[in-house]
Amino acid sequence: MDTPPLIRLERCPAPAKLNLFLHVVGRRADGYHLLQTAFRMLDWGDSLTFALRADGAVHRTTEVAGVPEKQDLVVRAGRLLQQASGCRHGADIAIDKRLPMGGGLGGGSSDAATTLIALNRLWGTGLSRAALAKLGLQLGADVPFFIFGRDAFAEGVGEELQPLTLPPAWYVVVAPPVLVPTAEIFRAEELTRDTGPIRITDFAASTTRNDLQAVACNRYPEVGAAIEWLAQFAPARMTGSGACVFAEVGSEMEAKDIVEKCPAPMRAWKAKSLARHPLSDWLD
């Protein structure tokens, strides 16, 4: 007896990421910045539900504040997969949005990656992990990491990925009451763009930082205030281009205690590291 086709994929995870460090080591002729970073996934994030449509339309069925449907990376990801595969199926996509926007946690990129992985399965398009990552790069520099599906040392614009083995850890993530536009930070004249490169083998012993942090703190004092508050408990740093900041702590209980102390209007969460993307087994 034939197995009936999939018609729905429920609550597919789209995990957050942290940049444990982020160095800007140069700039390409086309203006894109050359980076080195260590990506780490967290067991906390958005979730998406996909329902098959026969008419070829790709729709987002939930509202996302400030993001028109046509501009949403999940809709663009679905349509990009259709174009690349010739698939005539469509999908309704519902997003349960938990990650703060403009936070440097990769929420939009993770949602897009989960969309590519899930629709590749729902539609039976059969693209490989490498092929999906190549598509994902057209949507954003962080998307290939989520398709790669594990902690990684990244170079280039963020798409040259090597596996990174890290011990499990608990983190506190704090969101200050501000959104930081990524493009503004990368355009800043005062941004350091000549940090010396490090090797993956030297990562653990290297002195690292986030080169974007000083720019973000200068332009958005709320980010600096969040770092200062969190640094009372453990070394704190900004992730990505901000605005969120994070600190590694010794245990879940320690993380819980810090989260409970977080003063308004800042918000805080505890999260554990995630060794593999929850949908990684859906790819080769």
Q: Is 142 a catalytic residue?
A: yes
41 labeled part of a ligand binding site: no
Pairing state of beta strands 245-249 and 170-175? antiparallel
Query: From the candidates 46, 72, 111, 142, which is the catalytic residue?
Result: 142
251 labeled part of a ligand binding site: no
Distance CA 210, CA 165 (A): 20
- Please say whether the beta carbons of 270 and 172 come within 8 A: yes
136 labeled part of a ligand binding site: no
Query: From the candidates 17, 46, 97, 211, which is the catalytic residue?
Result: 17
Distance CA 19, CA 105 (A): 8
106 labeled part of a ligand binding site: yes
Of 55, 59, 56, the closest CA to residue 70 belongs to 59
Of 82, 75, 47, the closest CA to residue 59 belongs to 75
266 labeled part of a ligand binding site: no
105 labeled part of a ligand binding site: yes
Half-sphere exposure of 266 (CA within 13 A, CB side): 27
Distance CA 265, CA 281 (A): 39
176 labeled part of a ligand binding site: no
110 labeled part of a ligand binding site: yes
Of 42, 28, 176, 177, the closest CA to residue 106 belongs to 42
104 labeled part of a ligand binding site: yes
Of 188, 180, 206, 214, the closest CA to residue 36 belongs to 206
Report the binding-site residues for ATP. Answer: 100-110
Please give the positions annotated as active site. Answer: 17, 142
Report the binding-site residues. Answer: 100-110
